Amino acid sequence: MYIRSLALASYRNYSQLSVSFDPGINILQGENAQGKTNILEAIFVAALAKSHRVVKDKQLIQIDKTFARVNVKVSKRTQDVELDFILSHKGKHGKINGLQQRRLSEYVGNLNVVMFAPEDLALVKGSPQVRRRFIDMELGQMSPIYLQHLTQYSQVLKQRNVLLKKLQVQTTSSSLMMMLDVLTEQLIIEAAVIMHKRAQFLQQLQQWAQVIHEKMSRKQEMLKLRYLPSVEVSDKENLSKIKEELYSAYKQKKMIEVKRGITLFGPHRDDMAISVNEMDVHTYGSQGQQRTAALSIKLAEIDLIYAETGEFPVLLLDDVLSELDRHRQSQLLETIDNRVQTFVTTTTTNELHQTVLEQAQTFYINQGTLEVTG
């Protein structure tokens, strides 16, 4: 799939913008703070209904305006789709071909994107929360059902934590204890599906990431991804087994949770391990290894999304291409290989591979305006 055009209204530093893109490589060049990342972010927001940066939705709305609108026209293999994403101080909603969607989970997934930004190094270096966010976003754009389970899970989790807080002071209340059992059961139903899907996703992602990482590292390194659920389960691929084992884990830890007044384990505490040549990259990896590992994982998503949906996603590279050495730039180009529409932001084109420059359409960005330069 590729984005034919983008229109923005009151989005960050863009009052109005309307632009058509090339189905191949698009370079967005400009000095610092002119609005390069904002364009990539707007595309990401149109796809996933939230920013890739950890920000509040209302920060996306231009200062002193009441709403922001992102419109993208997407060409797919079999049809064209028009997406509208509207944000106001009251909330957000999405339209597909002019039709407002009841739920955001129905809107998300019509445009698939893979973003690689400087902060993605946190995928390797950062806290488990960053990796959970990554898994949820990526799985979410391929599976609306996953998103629904995730929403259900966090609602039940919230209720369960409120209840556990009450039980902390009223330990003997049998009615509260009964309520806890009911909520635990509901929590397990959602948790098991989430864990099952996460395990499958990481297994598939690893297969693609391994091949890419091997090429990136000139066959020197073997990348592995491993799902680390907060509850040890014997067979991560077996849904009913996960459920069974969750039941016994919650039963066993019930009184500890009551004492602590909080849900101590479940998908909200999961993590994934990333290793290179059997060594944890988080702890032992060099800066370059960490960067390459993060890039391999991101690029693997391109293949995974293609395998799952039959369409290549749109690749968004924020300030990262010029940071890569020649070999890695070439590997990346090989992965894209004219099949993947790519957006590249950069302050200067000096560091870019000649092949990229020859193929690309270049735009110059200056204070929230955009002009075609070549």
Binding residues for ATP are 30-37
Question: Reduced to 3 states, what is the DSSP secondary structure of residue 362?
Answer: strand
- Chain Cα centroid distance, residue 95: 21
Only segment of 35-43, 85-93, 96-104, 159-167 that touches ligand ATP (CB under 6 A) = 35-43
One-letter amino acid for residue 176 of the chain: L
User: How are strands ordered across the β-sheet holding 342-346?
Assistant: 113-116, 314-318, 342-346, 25-29, 361-366, 369-372
From the list ligand ATP, Mg ion, none, which binds 29 (C-beta under 5 to 8 Å, kind-based)? none
Alpha-carbon dihedral sign for residues 211, 215, 216, 222: positive
Show the CA angle centred on residue 61, arms to residues 26 and 123, nearest 5°: 60
In the bound complex, which residue of the shown chain has the CB atom lying closest to Mg ion? 37
Only segment of 58-66, 187-195, 290-298, 353-361 that touches ligand ATP (CB under 6 A) = 58-66
Cα–Cα distance, 57 to 73 (Å, whole number): 22
Among 62, 75, 210, 230, contact with ligand ATP (rule: CB under 6 A):
62
From the list Mg ion, ligand ATP, none, which binds 34 (C-beta under 5 to 8 Å, kind-based)? ligand ATP
Name which of residues 262 to 321 contact ligand ATP (CB under 6 A).
Answer: none
Nearer to ligand ATP, 174 or 350 (CB): 350
Only segment of 31-39, 123-131, 157-165, 224-232 that touches ligand ATP (CB under 6 A) = 31-39
Interface with ligand ATP includes 36 (CB under 6 A)? yes
From the list Mg ion, ligand ATP, none, which binds 32 (C-beta under 5 to 8 Å, kind-based)? ligand ATP
Cα–Cα distance, 206 to 217 (Å, whole number): 16
Among 35, 94, 140, 285, contact with ligand ATP (rule: CB under 6 A):
35
- Chain Cα centroid distance, residue 318: 15
- Binding site as annotated, residues: 30-37
Among 26, 29, 37, 206, contact with ligand ATP (rule: CB under 6 A):
37
**Residue 93 vs residues 56, 99, 154, 349: alpha-carbon distances, Å:** 15, 11, 20, 37
Q: Which residues bind Mg ion (CB under 5 A)?
A: 36-37
- Chain Cα centroid distance, residue 187: 24
DSSP at 184: H
Nearer to ligand ATP, 6 or 300 (CB): 6
Please, which residues bridge with residue 362 across strands?
A: 27
Cα dihedral 244, 131, 113, 21, rounded to 10, equals 170
From the list ligand ATP, Mg ion, none, which binds 256 (C-beta under 5 to 8 Å, kind-based)? none
Nearer to ligand ATP, 29 or 143 (CB): 29
Whether the CB-CB separation of 52 and 41 falls below 8 Å is answered with yes
Among 30, 229, 266, 285, contact with ligand ATP (rule: CB under 6 A):
30
Which positions touch ligand ATP (CB under 6 A)?
12-13, 30, 32-38, 59, 61-63, 347
